[in-house]
């Protein structure tokens, strides 16, 4: 006879936090959102921790190198999507690791015979205003000059004007030699009132740039998440098919943490993948696994050696796994049960395996609920897909700007590896949809608002850290009527009146 859970599964919207006592120290600026990303032993520190409990989903429409850089600046981690070639995924990882080493390899390069039209096209493509002019147009060619926005005016120059006519030539540049320290390079920038400093070798070949904005970035991004070489931390998704080729390429490119991207993680395929990584890399390579929705799934992946475990099946806004297959569980219930299993595992083994709530987030307060229910951090797709930094197009739909957003199980993504159950290598039916989400602007602005809401709620609960929130939180189920009561009701909103009068 089948096993029946006696309690229904619940979503985040069915819960509210009940306030607890808050002292005078319970102020948002005193709250720490630091949280472990990977497993650790009792009494030890995790190899990687997040400064904020947010990571971006392993999706084509969410996590590329641009998103990874923006999120790392705020203290979180992106997992660059794996449903692409090994070479292109590794290249994205390299771009993230190169971005904030202080010494940045130039990826916007010209030759003297290029034109102003080429400059405009390159700027639109790469987004960079500083471009190196080298003899062969490569990042390591002989440096002949640089082009910045101060070197040209589109309103007064013909687009066919050659770069050699308006670039700042080498003999007018301030440069530094390879071997200069980052501190010395920054001193040269400031002493000479420069925005960029080319670093060259003894033969005048370009090595890298040091930018003033990177120095200032540290001042404005106090939570940025850096590795021991002062580079941004970045994750990458892998699958259970080509890991023997993909993992070495990603590790060589500099990926700090990997995650098996699968709709359902309670399987031998994930065990075999983790075993291969441990056999070839030991514990030096960190890899998360999932997704699971109960204690049995957690225990299986924890015993396999997963460094963190993702929770959630079918709760994503573009996921239709529950609709097509009847598989899944309410995200709140799944998070609560898996968190309990994690705590029991820690008591038994002395090993803490962080869990990540993945899916089911509709409102910002759902994130705080997920943390209170035991999640160590949260993976978000729709939330991040709305921002400038996501890799999708911004389009106008019915007078409103929208961003494209599609699931990995959609016909558009055709990421069959994520739903792989063995056998033929193709997608038999869809488990995701192709959609739009309202455009929301920059990541930094939106994440800042989300985090202040999170910290304020934690203060209402008398908690100044995520572990303290999980200890002190009091949660109550709500009725459908009280959900209505929680919003604006029994009034006529001014915006509604204004729209009728237009």
pLDDT the model gives residue 410: 64
Q: Which of 418, 388, 420, 319 is nearest to 82 (CA)?
A: 418
Q: Is residue 418 among the annotated active site residues?
A: yes
Residue 283: per-residue pLDDT: 96
Measured distance between the N- and C-terminal CA atoms of the chain, rounded to whole angstroms: 62
Q: Which one is catalytic: 26, 259, 304, 319?
A: 319
Tokens of 307: 């460094």
In this prediction, residues 326-339 reach a mean pLDDT of 94
Count of other CB atoms within 10 angstroms of residue 452: 14
The one catalytic residue in 342, 356, 418, 459 is 418
Query: Each residue of 428-455: pLDDT tens digit?
Result: 555 666 789 999 999 999 999 999 999 9
> Which pLDDT does position 417 carry in this prediction?
60
| Whether the predicted pLDDT of 30 surpasses 90 | yes
**What are 228-278's pLDDT values in tens digits?**
988 999 999 999 999 999 999 999 999 999 999 988 899 999 999 999 999
Strand extents, DSSP E, 340-463:
351-352, 355-358, 377-380, 394-397, 400-406, 434-438
Q: Are 354 and 308 in contact, with CB atoms under 8 Å apart?
A: yes
Contact assessment for residue 291 and residue 312, using Cβ atoms and an 8 Å cutoff? yes
Residue 105 per-residue DSSP state: P
CB atoms within 10 A of CB 158: 9
Q: In what order do the strands lie in the sheet with 143-147?
A: 109-110, 131-134, 143-147, 168-169
Instruction: Note the pLDDT of residue 328.
Output: 87
> What is the rounded distance in angstroms from the CA atom of residue 22 to the CA atom of residue 455?
13
> Is residue 319 among the annotated active site residues?
yes
Residues 356-369 have a mean pLDDT of: 96
What's residue 421's pLDDT? Answer: 62
Q: Rounded CA gap, 297 and 303, in Å?
A: 10
Q: Does pLDDT of 501 surpass 60?
A: no
Preceding omega of 221 cis (within 30 degrees of 0) = no
C-alpha span between 386 and 67 (Å, rounded): 11
Statement: residue 92 has pLDDT above 90: yes
Cβ-based neighbour number of residue 146 at 10 Å: 24
> Does the pLDDT of residue 13 top 80, yes or no?
yes
458 Cβ contact list (under 8 Å, min separation 6): 31, 368, 464, 469
Q: What is the residue-averaged pLDDT of the chain?
A: 91
- DSSP letter assigned to residue 418: G
If phi > 0 it is left, if psi is from -120 to 50 it is alpha, else beta; for residue 350 that is: left
Half-sphere exposure of 33 (CA within 13 A, CB side): 30
Output the DSSP codes for 224-246. Answer: --B-TTS-B--EEEE-SSSHHHH
């Amino acid at each position: 006879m089948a096993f029946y859970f006696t309690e229904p599964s619940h979503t985040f919207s069915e819960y509210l936090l009940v306030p607890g006592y808050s002292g005078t120290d319970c102020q948002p600026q005193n709250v720490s959102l630091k949280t472990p990303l990977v497993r650790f032993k009792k009494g030890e520190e995790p190899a990687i921790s997040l400064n904020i409990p947010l990571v971006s989903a392993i999706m084509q429409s969410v996590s590329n190198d641009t998103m990874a850089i923006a999120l790392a600046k705020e203290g979180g981690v992106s997992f660059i999507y794996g449903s692409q070639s090994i070479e292109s995924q590794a290249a994205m990882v390299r771009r993230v690791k190169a971005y904030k080493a202080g010494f940045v390899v130039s990826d916007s390069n010209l030759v003297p015979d290029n034109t102003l039209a080429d400059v405009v096209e390159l700027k639109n493509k790469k987004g960079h205003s500083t471009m190196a002019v080298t003899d062969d147009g490569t990042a390591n060619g002989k440096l002949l000059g640089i082009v910045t926005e101060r070197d040209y005016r589109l309103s007064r120059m013909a687009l066919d004007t050659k770069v050699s006519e308006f670039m700042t030539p080498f003999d007018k540049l301030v440069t530094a030699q390879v071997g200069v320290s980052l501190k010395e390079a920054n001193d040269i920038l400031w002493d000479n009132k420069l925005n960029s400093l080319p670093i060259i070798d003894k033969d005048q070949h370009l090595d890298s740039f040091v930018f003033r904005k990177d120095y200032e970035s540290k001042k404005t991004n106090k939570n940025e998440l850096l590795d021991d070489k002062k580079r941004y931390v970045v994750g990458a998704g892998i699958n259970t098919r080509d890991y023997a080729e993909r993992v070495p390429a990603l590790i060589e490119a500099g990926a700090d943490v990997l995650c098996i991207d699968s709709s359902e993680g309670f399987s031998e395929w994930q065990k075999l993948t983790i075993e291969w990584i441990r056999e070839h890399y030991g514990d030096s390579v960190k890899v998360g696994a999932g997704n699971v929705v109960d204690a049995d799934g957690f225990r299986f992946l924890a015993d396999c050696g997963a460094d963190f475990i993702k929770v959630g099946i079918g709760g994503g806004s573009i996921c239709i796994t529950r609709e097509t297959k009847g598989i899944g569980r309410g995200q709140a219930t799944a998070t609560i049960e898996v968190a309990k299993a994690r705590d029991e595992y820690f008591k038994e083994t002395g090993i803490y395996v962080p869990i990540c709530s993945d899916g089911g987030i509709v409102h910002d307060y759902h994130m705080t609920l997920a943390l209170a229910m035991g999640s160590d951090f949260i993976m978000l797709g729709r939330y991040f897909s709305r921002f400038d930094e996501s890799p999708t197009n911004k389009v106008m739909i019915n007078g409103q700007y929208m961003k494209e957003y599609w699931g990995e199980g959609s016909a558009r993504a055709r990421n069959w590896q994520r739903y792989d159950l063995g056998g033929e290598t193709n997608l038999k039916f869809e488990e995701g949809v192709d959609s739009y989400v309202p455009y929301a602007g920059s990541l930094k602005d939106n994440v800042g608002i989300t985090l202040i809401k999170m910290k304020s709620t934690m203060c209402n609960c008398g908690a100044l850290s995520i572990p303290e929130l999980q200890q002190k939180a009091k949660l109550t189920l709500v009725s459908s009527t009280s959900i209505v009561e929680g919003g604006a009701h029994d009034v006529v909103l001014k915006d509604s009146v204004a729209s009728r009068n237009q």
